[in-house]
Amino acid sequence: MRTLARTVHMIGLAAFVGTVLSHVLVSVVADPSDPVRYHALMVLKDTGTQFVLIPGLVLMGLSGIVMVRRMPRPWPAWLTVKLGLVAAAAANGLLVLLPAGARIAEAASAGAQAPDALAREAIAGPVNVALILAIVVLSIARPSRRRTEALS
**What is the pTM (predicted TM-score) of this model?**
0.82
pLDDT in tens, 98-150: 999 999 999 998 989 999 999 999 999 999 999 999 999 999 999 976 655 55
Q: What is the DSSP string of 109-129?
A: HTT---HHHHHHHHHHHHHHH
- Return the sign of the alpha-carbon dihedral for residues 49, 51, 52, 53: positive
What's the mean pLDDT when you consider all of the chain? Answer: 90
Stretch 34-59: mean pLDDT? 91
Residue 48 has pLDDT above 70, yes or no: yes
Contact 83, 69 (CB under 8 A): no
Residue 1: per-residue pLDDT: 80
pLDDT in tens, 69-84: 988 888 899 999 999 9
**Cβ neighbours of residue 106 under 8 Å, at least 6 residues apart?**
114
**Domain range annotation of the chain:** 2-151
